[in-house]
């Protein structure tokens, strides 16, 4: 991996990809940003547009569109490319088409000599990350997905509002599939260092478990609510991608709920799902296995089964 300049290649310059690129520019997260898309003209236009904003930013980032040979000396390849559901198409058929899209991306990235970290945002993100892992042959530590990073941020924001505490002092995670079977292990949730269960016990007239359950349901439904209002979600995930990219490039050892390959945690192997991990320059440094209750462990295992079954239904 190059240490001198921080180079990121973005594959897929749609709404999510460009929200990432725009946030990356404004937060000056790397020195070089390359844009790749099947639609080369679009990638070129997006690079021009961002470059025209450089004069107004604090960044002197080099931004240009290019081809897969640019990945050879990159630190991170961010994949936001994907195709949309056609009418009448099943989830599995869509997944199969996106698997084809990923074949056309991961192969040339690997052939370029890329030796960095793959970061996937395309949905269903846990399965697309596993596909990237299988196609690339990379070590599991260097293939991660956005997982439940954004869901966790949404959870902390809502908990912060509910308890009237800075979200950064609310320690709680959304784990499992980025989707219907994701959940909040409340046994692990803390306000500062105090378990939320104790906060509820000490304040029975102020805080209620039903309201916490509504918060976790709101987190799960947030994407659908945004899609109903404006057809797609992109700013939040773009900023989540910047956070993960910075954790890697700055060797932060930050804890983020990325989609990661489990290797025995929760009695699960091979499946990729959202779980707190320590992220640094090498990608996933460590997976933090949470001490779940029996009920939470059953939820995690159910989520893993759903993801494993979807993956095994694919022909790669």
Residues that bind ligand NAD (CB under 6 A): 11-17, 37-39, 42, 80-84, 101, 104-105, 121-123, 125, 146, 150, 178, 232-234, 237
Q: Could you tell me the smallest distance in angstroms from the CB atom of residue 295 to ligand NAD?
A: 26
Contact 25, 61 (CB under 8 A): yes
Contacts of 166 (CB under 8 A, 6+ apart): 160
Torsion of CA 88, 91, 95, 98, to 10 degrees: 50
Kindly report whether the peptide bond that precedes residue 124 is cis, defined as omega within 30 degrees of 0: yes
- 186-196 in b/e form (b: 16+ CB < 10 A) is bebbebeeeeb
Contact 33, 70 (CB under 8 A): no
Residue 97's region, left for phi above 0, alpha for psi from -120 to 50, else beta, is alpha
d(Cα 124, Cα 126) in Å, to the nearest integer?
A: 6
Nearest Cα residue to 71 out of 16, 116, 120, 102:
116
Q: Could you tell me the smallest distance in angstroms from the CB atom of residue 162 to ligand NAD?
A: 23
Nearer to ligand NAD, 105 or 191 (CB): 105
Q: Could you tell me the smallest distance in angstroms from the CB atom of residue 135 to ligand NAD?
A: 13
Beta strands 7-11; 32-36: pairing state: parallel
Nearer to ligand NAD, 157 or 207 (CB): 157
Q: Could you tell me the smallest distance in angstroms from the CB atom of residue 203 to ligand NAD?
A: 33
Nearer to ligand NAD, 191 or 237 (CB): 237
Cα 174-207-291 angle, rounded to 5 deg: 35
d(Cα 156, Cα 160) in Å, to the nearest integer?
A: 6
Beta strands 269-274; 259-263: pairing state: antiparallel
Nearer to ligand NAD, 67 or 113 (CB): 67
Q: Could you tell me the smallest distance in angstroms from the CB atom of residue 106 to ligand NAD?
A: 10
d(Cα 38, Cα 100) in Å, to the nearest integer?
A: 13
Is 178 among the residues known to form the active site? yes
Nearer to ligand NAD, 236 or 283 (CB): 236
Q: Could you tell me the smallest distance in angstroms from the CB atom of residue 81 to ligand NAD?
A: 3
Q: Which residue is nearest to ligand NAD (CB)?
A: 14
User: Residues 52, 171, 178, 208: which is the catalytic one?
Assistant: 178
Nearer to ligand NAD, 45 or 195 (CB): 45
Annotated catalytic residues are 178
């Amino acid at each position: 991996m190059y240490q001198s300049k921080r180079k990121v290649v973005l594959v897929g310059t749609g709404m999510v990809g460009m929200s990432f690129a725009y946030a990356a520019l404004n937060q000056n997260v790397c020195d070089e940003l390359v844009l790749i898309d099947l639609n080369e003209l679009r990638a070129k236009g997006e690079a021009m547009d961002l470059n025209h904003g450089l004069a107004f930013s604090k960044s002197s980032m080099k931004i240009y569109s290019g081809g897969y040979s640019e990945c050879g000396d990159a630190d991170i390849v961010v994949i936001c490319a994907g195709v949309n559901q056609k009418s009448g198409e099943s989830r599995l058929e869509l997944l199969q088409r996106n698997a084809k899209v990923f074949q056309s991306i991961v192969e040339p990235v690997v052939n370029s000599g890329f030796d960095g970290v793959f970061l996937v945002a395309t949905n269903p993100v846990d399965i697309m990350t596993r596909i990237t892992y299988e196609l690339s042959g990379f070590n599991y530590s260097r293939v991660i997905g956005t997982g439940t990073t954004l869901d966790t941020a949404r959870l902390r924001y809502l908990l912060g509002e509910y308890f009237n505490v800075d979200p950064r002092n609310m320690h709680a995670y959304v784990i499992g599939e980025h989707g219907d079977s994701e959940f909040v292990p409340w046994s692990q949730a803390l306000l500062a260092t105090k378990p939320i269960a104790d906060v509820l016990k000490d304040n029975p007239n102020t805080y209620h478990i039903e309201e916490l359950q509504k918060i976790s349901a709101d987190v799960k439904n947030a994407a659908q609510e945004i899609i109903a209002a404006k057809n797609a979600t992109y700013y939040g995930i773009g900023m989540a991608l910047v956070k993960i990219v910075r954790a890697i490039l700055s060797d932060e050892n930050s804890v983020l709920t990325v989609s990661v390959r489990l290797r025995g945690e929760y009695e699960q192997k091979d499946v990729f799902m959202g779980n707190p991990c320590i992220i640094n320059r090498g990608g996933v440094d460590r997976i933090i296995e949470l001490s779940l209750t029996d009920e939470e462990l059953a939820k995690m295992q159910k989520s893993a089964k759903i993801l494993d079954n979807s993956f095994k239904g694919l022909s790669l």
